[in-house]
């Protein structure tokens, strides 16, 4: 591992385990330099990462202060797969593959994804059951060319894990859109709506490290089960 990543993850662990408590200062740059036998630039890079990800707040002339650690764990900043999120939150979750088919991008989808019409896609619908209720429908559209061997067996587990570990692709960024929509047929068919007539839709355009678009996903959440948090910086 990198030196700055080592420093970063050590401090994250210290914060999560409350060895550095909320409101406390972490060691100064000088101290970290000698602890890790690292240069100032390397230490600063690690601390900058901590600040970007909401762990700390740097104050000129004073030091680096730990923010609330509790929030971090429930945070969705960064790209986190459904499985990773629920592992962290420890909920009773069952995913069921409702459909898996090869399709060609129609006009609307091609526009939204920024690919040519009739591009071969793998379309997967999965229903997420949390604590006994069907509350999320995920509809993935993968660019077929980029995900060979994506079958029902893989879809039943973590697709992201398959893509990164098995195929060796690097996922780098996603544009994310959150909005509300009236329920459609899929929602009524798959979700326990309890009379609610809207869902919250999270759209994800996920890209590989080299910039190629790799999937378009819609996550359709029942209103009362949707929760999103992050940290914004000015």
Partner DNA sequence: CAGAATTTGTACGTATGTATG
Partner DNA sequence: TCATACATACGTACAAATTCT
In the complex, the residues that contact DNA under the rule CB under 7 A are 2-5, 25, 28-31, 37-42, 44, 58-64, 210
CA–CA separation, 221 and 188 (whole Å): 12
Query: Residue 99 CB, nearest distance to a second copy (Å)?
Result: 26
Q: Give the residues across from 141 on adjacent strands.
A: 123, 216
Look at residue 157 and give its three-state secondary structure.
coil
Query: Residue 42 CB, nearest distance to a second copy (Å)?
Result: 12
CA–CA separation, 58 and 61 (whole Å): 9
Among 34, 78, 106, 151, binds a second copy (CB under 8 A): 78
DSSP letter for 25, please: B
Q: With respect to DNA, which residue has the nearer C-beta, 37 or 92?
A: 37
Among 94, 118, 167, 180, binds a second copy (CB under 8 A): 180
Q: Is 158 in the site for a second copy (CB under 8 A)?
A: no
Look at residue 96 and give its three-state secondary structure.
strand
Nearest to 182 by CA among 195, 199, 196: 199
CA–CA separation, 185 and 188 (whole Å): 5
Q: With respect to DNA, which residue has the nearer C-beta, 78 or 120?
A: 78
Q: Which residues bind a second copy (CB under 8 A)?
A: 23, 41, 52, 54, 57, 59, 62, 65, 67-68, 71, 76-79, 114, 171-180, 196, 198, 200, 207, 209-211, 223-224, 226-234
């Amino acid at each position: 591992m990198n030196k700055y990543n080592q420093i970063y993850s050590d401090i994250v662990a210290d914060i999560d385990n409350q060895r550095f408590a909320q409101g406390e200062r972490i060691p100064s740059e000088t101290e970290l330099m000698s602890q890790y036998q690292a240069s100032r630039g390397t230490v600063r890079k690690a601390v900058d990462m901590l600040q970007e990800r909401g762990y700390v707040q740097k104050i000129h002339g004073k030091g680096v202060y730990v923010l609330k650690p509790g929030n971090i764990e429930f945070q969705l900043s960064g790209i986190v797969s459904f499985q990773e999120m629920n592992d962290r939150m420890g909920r009773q979750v069952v995913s069921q593959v409702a459909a898996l088919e090869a399709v060609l991008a129609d006009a609307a989808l091609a526009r939204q994804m920024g690919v040519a019409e009739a591009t071969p896609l793998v379309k997967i619908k999965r229903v997420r059951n949390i604590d006994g209720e069907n509350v999320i429908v995920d509809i993935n559209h993968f660019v077929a060319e980029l995900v060979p061997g994506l079958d029902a067996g893989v879809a039943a587990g973590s697709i992201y894990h398959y893509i990164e570990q098995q195929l060796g692709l690097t996922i780098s960024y996603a544009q994310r859109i959150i909005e509300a929509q009236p329920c459609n047929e899929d929602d009524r068919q798959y979700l326990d709506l309890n009379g609610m007539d809207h869902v919250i839709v999270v759209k994800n355009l996920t890209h590989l490290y080299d910039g190629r678009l790799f999937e378009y996903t819609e996550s359709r959440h029942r209103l009362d089960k949707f929760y999103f948090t992050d940290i914004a910086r000015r």
